[in-house]
């Protein structure tokens, strides 16, 4: 198959291009195609002639989206619609990356794919609207929701914690938000499998298991062999422009329907730390 990846310079995009070795892959960054421009989106699709398009390009600065609503919707929603229309015109299949932020985070059991969307942030609203519009343009599109993405080659929570741990004896981390850390390398592999199996509809894809940000940080520091003390705190001590979901664990049943399973987040963290160490040596 021929695969075109929009957002190839981002954290997930880099892993998609690197790990996807079973097909002919073309990676495009924003300099190659600005998806906010319908003509650029079409030109990129026409030029690369894909069987599948993976749209990983997004404006992911969750707090920045709050003060840049127009930009958030231009990229995350209208840009996605431009790519979807180009895909439909070309006759290609499409996989769109979405987020746990489409939910309100008030639940206490893993979210199924048919749970009602109720985003509480501009970022979440832009992704939720994109999901709806994409389904109207391409009913057979595959929408993959994920959460708490991390990996080498970009900014992420483990990288931030490790950098802080080298200069501080203690770090306060919120313990009242719960989700599933997801390693970009594992997500990239799952996406490749979904495309190969002609997946459609909404799929939840995260590493197995869940934890709080505090528990995640404590595990990061411990596995890295550092002595920094991780102290639990609450979200009201770290007020941010965008509201974070308190609970955003996604059910894996939709992924398992395609006979795909992802490793546990602790195993993923171990492999991330080993890969990060190699890149630093």
Residues designated catalytic: 123
DSSP 71-121: HHHIIIIIIHHHHHHHHHHHT-EEEEEEEGGGS-S--SSPBPTTSPP---S
User: Residue 154, exposed/middle/buried by CB under 10 A (0-12, 13-18, 19+)?
Assistant: middle
| Cβ–Cβ < 8 Å for 173, 233 | yes
User: Residue 235, exposed/middle/buried by CB under 10 A (0-12, 13-18, 19+)?
Assistant: middle
Contacts of 31 (CB under 8 A, 6+ apart): none
Compute the distance between CA of residue 272 and CA of residue 266 in angstroms, rounded to an integer.
10
């Amino acid at each position: 198959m021929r695969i075109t990846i929009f957002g190839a310079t981002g954290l997930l995009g880099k892993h998609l291009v690197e790990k996807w070795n079973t097909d002919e892959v073309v990676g495009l960054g924003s300099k190659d195609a600005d998806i906010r421009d319908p003509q650029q989106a079409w030109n990129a699709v026409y030029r690369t002639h894909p069987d599948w398009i993976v749209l990983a390009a997004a404006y992911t600065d969750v707090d920045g989206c709050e003060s840049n609503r127009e930009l958030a919707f231009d990229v995350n929603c209208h840009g996605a619609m431009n790519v979807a229309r180009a895909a439909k015109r070309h006759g290609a299949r499409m996989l769109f990356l979405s987020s746990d932020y489409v939910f309100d985070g008030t639940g206490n059991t893993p979210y199924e794919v048919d749970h009602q969307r109720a985003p509480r942030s501009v970022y979440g609203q832009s992704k939720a609207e994109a999901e709806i519009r994409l389904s109207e343009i391409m009913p057979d599109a595959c929408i993959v929701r994920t959460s708490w993405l991390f990996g080498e080659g970009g900014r992420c929570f483990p990288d931030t914690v490790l950098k802080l741990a080298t200069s501080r004896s203690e770090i306060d981390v919120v313990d009242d938000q719960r989700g599933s850390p997801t390693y970009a390398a594992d997500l990239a592999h799952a996406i490749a499998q979904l495309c190969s199996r002609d997946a459609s509809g909404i799929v939840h894809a995260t590493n197995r298991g869940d934890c709080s940000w505090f528990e995640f940080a404590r595990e990061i520091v411990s596995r890295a062999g550092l002595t920094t003390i991780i102290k639990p705190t609450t979200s009201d001590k770290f007020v941010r422009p965008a509201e974070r979901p308190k609970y955003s664990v996604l059910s894996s049943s939709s992924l398992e329907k395609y006979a795909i399973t992802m490793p546990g987040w602790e195993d993923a963290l171990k492999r991330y730390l080993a890969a990060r160490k190699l890149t630093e040596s």
